[in-house]
Every structure is written in structure tokens, then in C-alpha cells.
Amino acid sequence: MAEAIKYRKERIDRGIKARSDTIYMLSSYRELLYILFPRVLPISFLLLSPIFIGGGYWGKVIFYSCTFALLALSWDLLASVGLISLGQALFFGVGSYVAGGFNFYFKWPLFLTIPLATFGGALICTFLLVPVLRLRGVYFSMVTLILPLLFDHLIETLEILGGTHGLLSLSPFPSHWMAVYIAVVSVILCLFGFRRLLHEDYGFVLRGIREDDRVVMAGGINIYWYKAQTIFIAAMVGCFAGALMTHYYQFVGRSAFALDNTILPLAGVVLGGSGNFAGSVLGTFILVPLSEALRALGGLRMALYSLILIIALATLPEGIFHYLERKYHQFERMVSI
Amino acid sequence: MADEVILKVENLTKRFGGIIAVDQVSFELKQGEFLGLIGPNGSGKTTLINLITGFVKPTSGRIYYRNMEITHCPPYQIACLGIARSFQMVRAFHKIPAYKNLIVPLYSPRVRKLSGGKYGERDDMAIDLLDDFGFERDSFVPYKPAGSLPHGYLKRLDLARCMALRPELLILDELFSGMTMSEVSATLPLIEKFNREGLTIIMVEHRLKELFRVANRVIVLNFGRKIADGPPREAMSQKEVQRAYLGTETEG
Ligand SMILES: Nc1ncnc2c1ncn2[C@@H]1O[C@H](COP(=O)(O)OP(=O)(O)OP(=O)(O)O)[C@@H](O)[C@H]1O
Ligand SMILES: [Mg+2]
């Protein structure tokens, strides 16, 4: 008889998870580490990178990355209820102009304009989008794409809110560090907050709406009310990002409604992987610094940038985060039989 | 109040372009009745269900639930009044674990008012409920994504989703289609039990043998019109019904 096998390989992940994704059974210090590592790593990276990189040019890049990460998180939240936005620039622009306008015309300090832009801006965006909530799929996307263009043209032709020149010399943050840390902490809060939310009962209602809204209606839930709430939360995050950028630059202009503010976060989500929020943050934190680094190349920049994006998508269509997550869950250990 | 009228349908008509899917249908349903709704393919059974549950708006006619008009109410309001429905084509949240599929009805205003339930408690409620429908709590079945379950399980998941709403009127659209014999014989007694406990049921079914074991009344539709209404044996013995089921208009 062959020698008895005493050990077998087991995925650490399998051993810890008690049937479902959210219930863990931890029995050792190392298992705790296995659970904590993926959470501690991004938090410490986000909190420490501004210190290591310092102020200067790359300090600014960290700040940009954060604002775009917020827009990407906002996009991913909308997607979780099945709304595909092509108008993150709407949130960004409305937030920027509410903060900029109140600061410029009424001299409100930034600790008032930013919360006002967050809530007031989100209300404006929600009211604009609620009438089209019944539109499905691409029709909703089209409307979100058009609205920022509309605002852009209104500001240009009516010469309101500074017209083509924009609003200048707005109040700055007391320091670069304050701006960066507000941005970084917001990204962390949104990232973990949204991940948590989607595991709550509320989140399962949102996911249900994305998968089959008729079943949700038959379950006694008003899908339009939930979609409106989701738009409000997503708009708050996007408007907040815009307000931060306005005061960081001390300027707001028509560029706030530019297509870039839609495309870049979306590209970040696609690169990192959608549906889990972590991918959105990871993707933007790769893309934004990358596009800055390529700035030195001048005209070739966009070409190279696009090439990198295409290669990344062709090799990892599910997104970088999903790939990493899968690999991490495949780690094995020996267990006695 | 055993004889209270729970549902009243008056001259209900639905046209889709040139087709009249439901044609001047009227009937009353009393509390506790078990109504079988039958008819050949395309006779308007599903459309009638969609009209009652608000998923399709009628061309003309009215619908009352416990003397309250619900003709123009949206589906979620009708569901919250206690009318639960299953779908003929299997519908489920495929990427979500089976038991989490029940969170939606459990989170509805109706159930929250009736039974409360906090985060986590609803999970237990869902697992308890699914256990009754053959998703054994100690197996992996309730925790698997709904999309990975066989057809028969999805059909029962749909039924469990209806029951999670704590309905007063249950409308089942071909629940048994695609179920195995053993699944049917496990599910039928459950439905019978719900009815004995006071639940009013409308059941669309092509498996007439099973249906007639439980239903005490049938309505037969043909080309959208109601052609018979009464106890199963009487309704089925009518000439027009037999003609409709044989699929010919001429007598041999
Ligand atoms: N959304 C729609 N648009 C156009 N026609 C429709 C629509 N829904 C149903 N119909 C038509 O209405 C008629 C009734 O269809 P319905 O699905 O209600 O029949 P049914 O009795 O449920 O049939 P089955 O036994 O096959 O399920 C059919 O002729 C069908 O083609
Ligand atoms: Mg049908």
C-alpha cells in the first residue's frame, strides 16, 4: 500500500470563506493577515504616497489622480444600478461652477462652497437626469453625454459665469497638503463605503435593478426612486471632485465640462475593471500618472497613450483588478487531512 | 370574511396593434379561491396577468383589488398591495447568490412594514424561506449564484420570491413548465397548503392534470375572450372549450 497522504493543497480563500462571500471564519493570525493585506495595502499607499512624492509637479499629479478616481468611483456606482454614464463631466462641471460661482460672486469661503457644491450640485444634476430615468441603455447615456455640452455652450454664448474667460483668482486651499489629503481621504472613504454599500441589502436591490428591473418591480420596489438616489450619491461624489479642483486651481472655466473629464475616468474604470470600485481607483492611479509622464513626448503622447490602453485591454479584458483578485484567491497552503 | 371579493376585472381589453390579446374579459375572484387560467397558446393568459399586475396598461376596462381601483397603478405599488406574480420565462438575478435574490422583496416597503428585519436578519429570513422550497440550508445550493442553478430550481426560486412578498393574491404563470415530475410533486402540495391557509391563487398551467387537482374553478380563454368559467369538470365539458383545445372551428 502506498504511503498515506497526510496533506493536501487548499486555497486559503476557500478555507476562510464560510459558504458566502461576506462571512469569514478566521482561525489563525495568518488568515487574518490574508484578509487584511488587500485592505491595508491601498490605504497605506494612498495615505503615504503624497508624503514620499512631496509637493511640486508630481504632488499635483497625485491630486489629479484622486479627483479622477472620484469621478471613476461615481461612474462605477451608476453602473452598479445599470446606468451607463457618458457624462461624468456634467457632475464635475456643475460642482466646479457652483463652488467657483459662490466663491467669486459672494466671496463665500471654500469650506462653505465645497459642501454647497457637493449637495446643491448633486441636486441640480439629479433634477436634470430624473426626467430621463425611464430611458433605457444607450438613450440614457446619450443624454448624459449631451448635458455637459449644453452647459458649455450656454456659458459661452450667454457669457454668464465668466463666459469664455472663466472665473479667476478664487480662494486657494490653505496648503497643498490639505487639498491632497482631503482628496485622498475622500477616495478611501468612497472606495470602502461603496464596496460596503453594495454588500448591504440596499446594494442588492441596486444590483437587482441592473440585472432585471422587472423582477425588482414585481418585488414591490420602485426602481425609479432607487435609481434617482443612486444618481444623487454619484453626483455628490462627482460634484465634490469638481469643487476640489476649482479651488485647487483657483480657477473655473468651460474646460470643467470638457469631454476629457468623462473619458479619462471611464478609461480608468475600463483599465482597472468595473463593478468593484477598487478597479476604478487602481485604473485611474495608473492612467493619470502615465498620461502625465507621456507629456514629455509631445504629439506622440496621445498615440502612445492609446496604444498602451489598447494593449492593456486586449491582454486583460476583465480589468487589472479582477486579474489580481483572481490570482490572490488562488494562493494555496498545505492543510492536514 | 371568506366571501370577500379580492379581485374584480371589468371589461378588460388589450390591443397590440391589430391583435386583440385580451378581449372584454370580466370576472370576480373571492378570497381563498384557487383559480386555474387556461387556454391555447397565444390566447392571452400572460397578457391578462401583465394587466392585473400593472406591467401592461389596458386599452380599456378596469381592475379593482379589494374595492380599490388599481388599473393605473405601477407594478411596484400593486406588488406592495400584496399581489405577487411569477414569470413564465424564468427570470432571476443570475449573478447574485440564490438567497440574496430574495432580498429585493424582503426589502420592499410592504415586507418591511409587516415584519421589519434589519441587515443580516433578512439573510436568515431568505434562507428559512428557501429551505421550504428545496434549497437545503446546509447545502451549498442557496449560496450559489442563481445563474448556475438548474431550471427547476430557478422556477422554485421565483415562487419563493413571490412568497417572500407575503402575498394575499398569488399569480403563477406556468410555474410547472420545464419542471421534472418529482419537482412538480414536491411543489404542488406546498401551493395547496398556501391555499388552505387562506392565500388566493390564480394559476396559469398547461399541465391540466396537476392543475385540476388543486384548482376549484377555471377560466378558459380563447383568442383573448373568456369562453368558460366554472368548476373544472363543467368548464372542460363545454363544446366551445373542447373545440378551442382541439384547435379547429369546424365540428367533425
Ligand atoms: N408585447 C406584445 N406586443 C405585441 N403582441 C403581443 C405582446 N404580448 C403578447 N402579444 C400577443 O398577444 C397574444 C396573447 O399572448 P400571451 O402571451 O398573452 O398568450 P398566452 O396565453 O400567455 O400564451 P402561452 O400559452 O404561449 O404562454 C399573442 O398573439 C401574442 O403574440
Ligand atoms: Mg403565456
What SS3 class is residue B208?
A: helix
Measured CA to CA, the distance from residue A136 to residue A227 in angstroms comes to 12
Give chain B's domains with CATH numbers: 1-82+168-252 (3.40.50.300), 90-166 (no CATH)
Pairing between strand B34-38 and B19-30? unpaired
CA distance B86 to chain A (A): 8
Burial class (CB in 10 A: 0-12, 13-18, 19+), A105: exposed
Ligand 1, pocket-test mutation among B15, B45, B53, B173, most atoms within 8 A of CB: B45
- Chain A neighbors of B140, CB-CB under 8 A: 19
| Residue B141 scores a pLDDT above 90 | no
Query: Under CATH, what is the fold of the domain A7-29+43-336?
Result: ABC transporter involved in vitamin B12 uptake, BtuC (1.10.3470)
- Pocket lining for ligand 1, CB < 6 angstroms: B 16, 19, 21, 39, 41-47, 88
So what's the pLDDT on residue B65?
96
Query: Is it the case that residue A295 has pLDDT exceeding 90?
Result: no
Residue nearest to atom 11 of ligand 1 (CA): B21
B217 vs B229: CA distance, rounded Å: 7
pLDDT at residue B245 in the model = 77
pLDDT of residue B109: 92
Compute how many other C-beta atoms are within 10 angstroms of the C-beta atom of residue B246: 11
Q: In this model, does residue A185 exceed pLDDT 90?
A: yes
pLDDT band for B247, please (50, 70, 90 cuts). Answer: low
Q: How much is the pLDDT for A1?
A: 47
- Summarize the confidence of residues A170-199 as an average pLDDT: 94
| A223 neighbourhood in chain B, CB within 8 Å | 76
What pLDDT score was predicted for residue A22?
Answer: 57
Contacts of B221 by beta carbon, 8 Å cutoff, 6+ apart:
B22, B25, B37, B38, B39, B43, B44, B45, B48, B227
Q: Tell me, in angstroms, the distance from the centre of ligand 2 to residue B221's CA.
A: 12
Contact A67, A179 (CB under 8 A): no
pLDDT of B227: 92
- Strand pairing of B60-65 and B5-16? antiparallel
**In sequence order, what E strands does B31-66 have?**
34-38, 60-65
Smallest CA–CA distance, residue B240 to chain A, in Å, is: 35
Instruction: Region of B223 please: left (phi>0), alpha (psi -120 to 50) or beta.
Output: left
Contact between A304 and A294 (Cβ < 8 Å) = yes
A139 vs A48: CA distance, rounded Å = 42
Find the mean pLDDT for residues A195-211: 94
Higher pLDDT, B119 or A313: A313
Q: For chain B, give the mean pLDDT.
A: 91
| Cβ atoms of A94 and A239 closer than 8 Å | yes
Q: Is the pLDDT of residue A114 over 90?
A: yes
User: Which residue stretches of chain B are H helix?
Assistant: 45-52, 75-81, 103-106, 109-115, 121-132, 151-164, 181-196, 208-214, 232-237, 239-246
Nearest neighbour of B75 by CB, restricted to A200, A205, A218: A218
pLDDT tens for residues B162-186? 999 999 999 999 999 889 999 999 9
CB atoms within 10 A of CB A329: 12
Quick: pLDDT tens for A225-254. 999 999 999 999 999 999 999 999 999 999
Closest CA to B78 of B56, B61, B106: B56
Query: Can you give the pLDDT at residue A37?
Result: 86
| ipTM confidence | 0.91
Count, residues in chain B: 252
Least confident of A65-79, B29-43, B51-65, B234-248: B234-248
Q: What proportion of chain A, given as a percentage, has pLDDT over 70?
A: 94
In this structure, of A136-145, A209-218, A240-249, B159-168, the range with the lowest mean pLDDT score is A136-145
Q: pLDDT grade, residue B236 (50/70/90)?
A: confident
pLDDT of residue A57: 87
Task: Tell me the percentage of chain B whose pLDDT exceeds 90.
Answer: 73
- Mean pLDDT for chain A? 89
Q: Which of A117-131, A189-203, B228-242 is least confident? A: B228-242
